[in-house]
A and B are shown apart, each in its own frame.
Chain A
Amino acid sequence: MIIPILRLKDVLLTSIQVDLTDQEALDFQADVLRMVSETEAGGIVIDITALDVVDSFMARVLNDTARIVRILGAEVVLSGMQPMVALALIEMGRELVGVETALNLDQGLERLQRLIQERTSGHGRPD
């Protein structure tokens, strides 16, 4: 299972369209990190509209991915999370700390651009 990661000017765009096994999720994480460092993109939007389950493992993968991407000097926005997925995650006690989110791909790209601007103009968050 290879999830395509597209390049759009200085940002990357990817959409998880199928339910991933744990290994596929880890492979995806590796692909994202490799693409971010190879392309020196300013950031990436990961669209998860199609995911109808995000359990603690997937939450951790998404969380870790975002953290590492930030360490690599880029930004991450997660878009399109299903409302009931968010609810289940909150009920489980999982917060996606440190992951920026947006309702859809459009708002995600917009948000990513703003985050990149803030970072380059030195107004980034202290973490």
Chain B
Amino acid sequence: MTPSDDLEAKLALLEWKLEERIKELDCIHSITDLVEQPGISLEEILQGIVALVLPAWQYPEVACARAIVEGQEFGTENFRETTWKQVSDIVVRGERIGTLEVYYLEEKPESDEGPFLNEERMLLNTIAERLGRIIERKQAEEALRKVHDELERRVEERTAELTKANETLRQQSQAIMELSTPVIKLWDEIVLLPLVGVIDTPRAQQMMERLLQSIVETESRVAIIDVTGVSVIDTSVAQHVLKTVSAARMLGADVIITGFSPDAAQTLTRLGVDLSAMRTRGTLWTGIVEAFDLIGLQVVPRLEEGRR
């Protein structure tokens, strides 16, 4: 062996080693690319990695690989177990959860570890270690997604609850509105609508419609609207009352308004509301007496025996 032969041999060895290193680097790069694909699942990563490791081995044409993670197997298409294998553990948070394995399908010359090289051992360990970290990250992502989904579900649930509560509230306020406008059948042919509290235009409108309907339903010739309990009667409300009085008359019924306070009467007159068009009485009591009179009845004391 000449020195030049020796040099040439060394050079060829170096070149081969370099090529092997490049194959390893390529392998690691392609794994990085795979893992960083957005939205890729752990299963897809494992299936991809077993295919990506093969070109980095010395005899890729007869190599096959498999990853086993938590009992699930991901092998290359040509995978088959043989006696020539290299195995590395996959460890997540200090716990062995699976293995990454490379097999040669046929016998190859003996090398550092069976037919395998020391460099291949190191590469397999590196990839297995990376796989461990990838699984760890994916599991964390999965947990996070679950928390997020759970949160979203709860927000949806809460929103639905709130919508329902809102609906209930609205129905209740409608019911209260109806409750607060009771039309009472006071006597045969007499109905009473006692107004209480604050009356806004929608409520006034609704009450007046109800009163007109009650007049017809109960066939009442007289309706009494008692405004004693109303805190403020503005022009709009007064107009609704006036309108109702006219409509009731058109139906053939009379309306008596009772309980106008002197202040309210004065204010409304000043605002140009003509109260003289209405039949008004100071108190509910005098209003009822007038109502009886209108339907041809009168209240008389009972004639009791022994009474003088």
Contact = CB atoms under 8 A, between A and B. Distances in A.
Check A-B contact in the complex, CB < 8 A. Answer: yes
Interface of A: 78-79, 81-84, 86-87, 89-91, 95-96, 100-104, 106-108, 111
Contact of B221 (A78, A83, A87, A103): A103
A90 B252 contact: no
A90 B251 contact: no
B136 interface: no
21 contacts: A78-B252, A82-B216, A83-B213, A83-B215, A84-B209, A86-B212, A86-B248, A86-B251, A87-B209, A100-B252, A101-B250, A101-B251, A101-B252, A102-B252, A103-B220, A103-B221, A103-B252, A103-B253, A106-B219, A107-B219, A107-B221
B178 to A, nearest CB: 17
A111 B209 contact: no
A57 B96 CA distance: 94
Contacts, number: 58
A82 to B, nearest CB: 7
Contacts of A81: 250-252
B28 to A, nearest CB: 84
A111 B251 CA distance: 13
Interface of B: 208-209, 212-213, 215-216, 219-221, 243-244, 246-253
B216 A103 contact: yes
A84 B250 contact: no
Contacts of A84: 209, 212-213
Contacts of B248: 86
Nearest to A100: B252
A48 to B, nearest CB: 11
Contacts of B213: 83-84
A83 B251 contact: yes
A96 B221 contact: no
